[in-house]
């Protein structure tokens, strides 16, 4: 029997993604495993940006309501096991190995070699959640929706759509309509409701509305669900049928929009008596922490890290920086993957800063070489061998009241999480 480390090492040699028609292949395997997702209720989340923040807030509400909640998200930042957790406890190495072999024993040798890394994690997640008897599973799509491995589940209780924008265009399509179409496949007959995040582009919203109509699933729009004010880490929520005040530590203008999506779901869950009060929402707001989403990791000078990796996320981050800088100089540490639209992100950041330190993310195959990145700047920019070196340079050149922002990829910022 292989150890956890040996299994993970073997995963790294497998396909990074499956074929476009692998969902049918995986559903057949899932049936052999007893359709494990039938043992719990599911909230399925798709979108370009905001899946992680929205998912963590939803699971936080359900956990504070007393439910046993499985959570599946990617990518992992520090430990691969972050992708599968129950009530904030990561899957143990022993449980991972046992679940892996439970699945492997149902596969032919040929089948086992055709399963990609993410597909393995998806199958292990479903079986593990069923074995541990979770009440709810909050499951984030990895990429897209229709052809995503997570879409092997039957109709979820709720399908959630965070903001949809251009990303992974070589796989999902080069227009917002095509991307929304790819993601809309998580809406199925039997889903109780679809909830759509605020500020969707009209083209994306129309695709989601059309799919809901086709499969007769109610669509809930969260644009006007509540007015939200945040000041000095205090939040005030004014909805049509309730008001709520709480502490709230998340930075980022975009988190208000994510929270509106969560509030729309909370109201639905209260109608169905899944929640009996607003207390779980309040408790979530008071305790929520989301790594690498406008996360402050140091002071004097302030250091923020954010995994923004596409123009839509970069724009949202830029708006947050504008709201936080209060006349301060902004020093930006940037590093991107070469398959991202880094040129557009650079343009966005050049609107708010003139001080850049360039480096490379921790991803050997996909990193954009810093020398190529530097060619996109007219003025001289500082280059660093890695993000830690870049941060050291930034601190040496910063005043105590400056603002340092590290962004471009989760693969860039992950080395700084819990580092200070």
Q: Kindly state whether residues 283 and 308 are assigned to the same domain.
A: no
CATH code of the domain covering residue 105: 3.40.1190.10
Q: Is residue 71 a contact partner of residue 59, using CB atoms and an 8 Å limit?
A: yes
Distance between CA atoms of residues 321 and 317, nearest Å = 6
- In a 3-state reduction of DSSP, which class is residue 282? helix
CATH code of the domain covering residue 388: 3.90.190.20
Q: Kindly state whether residues 144 and 215 are assigned to the same domain.
A: yes
pLDDT at 418 over 90: no
68: pLDDT confidence band, cut at 50, 70 and 90? very high
Boundary-marking domain end, from 231, 258, 287: 287
Distance between CA atoms of residues 128 and 85, nearest Å = 10
Percent of the chain past pLDDT 70, that is, above it, reads 95
Question: What phi, psi does 324 have (nearest 5°)?
Answer: -100, -20
What's the whole-number mean pLDDT along residues 93-120? Answer: 95
Q: What is the DSSP letter of 92?
A: P
Q: Kindly state whether residues 118 and 220 are assigned to the same domain.
A: yes
Residue 210: in which H helix or E strand, if any? helix 202-214
420: pLDDT confidence band, cut at 50, 70 and 90? very low
- Both structure tokens of 355: 């001080």
Nearest CA to 84 out of 41, 54, 113, 55 is that of 55
- In a 3-state reduction of DSSP, which class is residue 151? helix
Distance between CA atoms of residues 229 and 363, nearest Å = 38
Q: Kindly state whether residues 388 and 372 are assigned to the same domain.
A: yes
Distance between CA atoms of residues 68 and 134, nearest Å = 5
Q: Kindly state whether residues 263 and 310 are assigned to the same domain.
A: no
- DSSP E strands: which ranges in 99-218? 136-140, 158-161, 193-196
Could you tell me the CA-to-CA distances from 354 to 317, 346, 379, 383 in Å, in that order? 16, 11, 9, 15
- In a 3-state reduction of DSSP, which class is residue 273? coil
User: Helix, strand, coil % (nearest 5) of the chain?
Assistant: 45, 20, 40
Q: What is the DSSP letter of 368?
A: P
Domain around 309: 295-416
Q: Kindly state whether residues 253 and 385 are assigned to the same domain.
A: no
Could you tell me which residues are beta bridge partners of residue 78? none
What's the whole-number mean pLDDT along residues 70-96? Answer: 96
Q: Is residue 183 a contact partner of residue 145, using CB atoms and an 8 Å limit?
A: yes
pLDDT, tens digit (0-9, with 9 covering 90-100), for 304-350: 999 999 998 999 999 999 999 999 999 999 999 999 999 999 999 99
Boundary-marking domain end, from 269, 287, 305: 287
Asked whether the CA dihedral 73, 78, 80, 82 is positive or negative, the reply is negative
Distance between CA atoms of residues 43 and 58, nearest Å = 9
């Amino acid at each position: 029997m292989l150890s956890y480390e040996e299994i993970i090492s073997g995963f790294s040699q497998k396909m990074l993604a499956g074929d476009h028609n692998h969902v049918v292949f995986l559903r057949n395997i899932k049936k052999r495993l007893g359709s494990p997702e039938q043992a719990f209720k599911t909230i399925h989340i798709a979108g370009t940006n905001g899946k992680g923040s929205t998912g963590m807030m939803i699971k936080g509400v359900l956990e504070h309501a007393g439910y046993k909640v499985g959570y599946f998200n990617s990518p992992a930042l520090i430990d691969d096991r972050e992708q599968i957790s129950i009530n904030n406890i990561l899957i143990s190495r022993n449980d991972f190995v046992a679940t892996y072999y439970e699945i492997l024993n149902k596969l032919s040798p040929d089948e086992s070699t055709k399963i990609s890394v993410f597909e393995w994690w998806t199958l292990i997640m479903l079986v593990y959640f069923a074995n541990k008897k979770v009440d709810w599973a909050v499951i984030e799509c990895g990429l897209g929706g229709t052809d995503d491995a997570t879409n092997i589940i039957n109709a979820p209780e709720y399908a959630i759509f965070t903001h949809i924008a251009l990303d992974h265009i070589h796989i999902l399509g080069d227009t917002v309509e095509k991307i929304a179409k790819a993601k809309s496949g998580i809406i199925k007959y039997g889903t109780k409701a679809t909830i759509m995040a605020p500020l969707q582009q009209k083209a994306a919203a129309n695709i989601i509305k059309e799919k809901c109509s086709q499969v007769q699933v109610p669509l809930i729009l969260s644009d006007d669900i509540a007015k939200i004010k945040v000041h000095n880490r205090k939040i005030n929520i004014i909805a049509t049928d309730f008001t709520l005040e709480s502490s709230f530590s998340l930075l980022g203008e975009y988190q208000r929009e994510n929270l509106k999506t969560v509030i729309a779901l909370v109201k639905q869950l209260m109608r169905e008596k899944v929640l009996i009060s607003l207390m779980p929402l309040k408790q979530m707001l008071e305790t929520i922490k989301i790594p690498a989403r406008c996360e402050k990791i140091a002071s004097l000078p302030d250091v923020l890290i954010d995994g923004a990796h596409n123009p839509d996320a970069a724009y949202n981050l830029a708006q947050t920086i504008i709201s936080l800088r209060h006349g301060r100089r902004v020093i930006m540490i940037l590093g991107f993957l070469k398959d991202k639209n880094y040129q557009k992100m650079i343009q966005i950041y050049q609107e708010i800063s003139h001080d850049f330190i360039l480096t490379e993310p921790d991803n050997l195959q996909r990193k954009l070489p810093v020398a190529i990145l530097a060619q996109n700047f007219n003025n001289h920019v500082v280059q660093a061998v890695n993000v830690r070196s870049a941060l050291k340079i930034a601190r040496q050149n910063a005043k105590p009241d400056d603002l340092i922002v590290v962004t471009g990829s989760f693969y860039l910022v992950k080395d700084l999480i819990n580092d200070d």
